[in-house]
Structures are given as structure tokens and as C-alpha cells.
Amino acid sequence: MTSRTKKIANYALLGAMAYLLVLFIRIPIVPAPPLGYEPKDVVIVISGLLFGPLAVVAITPVVAFLEMVTFSATGPIGFVMNVISSCAFGCTAAAVYKYKRSLAGAVVGLVAGCVTVTSVMLLWNYLIVPLYMPYATREMVVGMLLPTFLPFNLLKSGFNAACVMMLYKPITLALRKAGLYETPGDGSPSAFNKRSIGIILASLFIIASIVMIVLVWQGVL
């Protein structure tokens, strides 16, 4: 199998995984405007860490398009928002990690991705929300930016980042065993081999903390 064929196979496999995740796991967080969590960005970001930002650019529109034509109720607007959100997070994290392929580089990249997607989505929610929620005036959207969109995107991206830290190594190993991925000469997958127990514990702590915050936000706790 040539390297180009392997890359296409990887993109197709990771894209299918991302689509299945958003198909079967959708958790509503905020009723109005309708905001929910789906874990497709976990796989999309991992694809970027493995193969670079172009993998994110290649996979994201395909997954968003399949989502739009199969079950999404937000149509083209939802497609655009999904592409912008996933690319802002995934491309930023992948670009930083490509420059510094180490555990520190991965952490910095994921944090930068969280900040970038949160900032970008504040702008795009301001621009787009009134288009698919006619009753939401621009002034109403401005009033929702800090109390709703800001914490939602921070919590969502933080949760995804923690999941990426936990799942990067297992997915890499699975692809390697399937003969679809070879360790680069700089040894990038080893960045996650060191202190793996610490990574898992830290990720679990972040995930548990975010779940608790969301439950408090929703008034469950």
C-alpha cells in the first residue's frame, strides 16, 4: 500500500469514526439557542495531530456535509458553523503540535485550540444566530455571548481536549497495528507515551470537573 493510499484510508477511517460519533452521541446542553455536545471533534483533532492541519481541513467538511444531509436540522448554516468550529480547534492544535512534537507541544496546541475556537465562535454566533433564529435580535445575541456562548464553547473544547489526550495513543496504536500509520522519524507518538498514567488521571479530572460544571449550569446539582 502506497503512502498516498494509506493517507486516504486514514482520512476515510477517521472521518467515518467522527461521523458515527456525532450520529450516535448528541447531548443537549442549552435549549435556546439549541447548543449541544457531540464528540466528533475528538477524532478530527486527533487526525490533525497525526497528519497535520490539512487532515482537519480535508475531513471536517465531509463529516459536516454528511451530518447536514442525514439528520441535522440546521441545514447549510449548521454546516458552515460546524466547519468553522472544528477547523478553528483542530487546525490550531495541529499547527502548534506540528511545530513542537512533544507532550508540551500537544498541551499548548490543545489549549490554543480551545482559546481559538471559543474566540472565533463568539464572532460567528454573533453573525449567524439571528439568521436561523428570527426572533433573536442582534441585541439579544450580544446579551448571550458572555453568559451562554463563551462558557459553552470553553467547556465543550476543554472536554474534547481532555478526551484527545486520553485517546490519542490508543488510536495511534490501532492505526499502526492495522498497517495504516507509521511512526514519523521524529517519534511524535512517543510524546504521549511518557507519563501516560498522569495524562489519563489529569484528563479524567478535567472531564469530571467539566461534567460537574455543566450539571450545575443546568440546575441538576
pLDDT score of 156: 96
pLDDT score of 186: 45
Average pLDDT over residues 173-190: 66
pLDDT score of 137: 82
Burial class of residue 153 in the structure, from the number of CB atoms within 10 Å of its CB (0-12 exposed, 13-18 middle, 19+ buried): buried
Given pLDDT bands bounded at 50, 70 and 90, which one contains residue 200?
confident
pLDDT score of 33: 72
Per-residue pLDDT at 40 exceeds 60: yes
30 DSSP β-pair partners: 35
pLDDT score of 193: 57
126-160 confidence digits (pLDDT tens): 998 888 777 778 888 899 899 999 999 999 999 99
Name the more confident of 25 and 192: 25
Given pLDDT bands bounded at 50, 70 and 90, which one contains residue 188?
very low
CA distances 121 to 88, 125, 153, Å, are 9, 6, 8
pLDDT, the chain, mean: 88
pTM for the structure as a whole: 0.90
51-101 confidence digits (pLDDT tens): 999 999 999 999 999 999 998 888 899 999 999 999 999 999 999 999 888
Given pLDDT bands bounded at 50, 70 and 90, which one contains residue 22?
very high
Rg of the chain over CA atoms, in angstroms?
Answer: 18
Amino acid code (one letter) for 82: N
Given pLDDT bands bounded at 50, 70 and 90, which one contains residue 172?
confident
Helix axis angle for 75-99 and 53-70, nearest 10°, is 160
Domain locations in the chain as residue ranges: 3-217
Given pLDDT bands bounded at 50, 70 and 90, which one contains residue 187?
very low
Given pLDDT bands bounded at 50, 70 and 90, which one contains residue 194?
low
Average pLDDT over residues 4-26: 90
**Domain 3-217 - what CATH class?**
mainly alpha
CA neighbor of 82 nearest in space, from 96, 70, 65, 106: 65
Given pLDDT bands bounded at 50, 70 and 90, which one contains residue 220?
confident
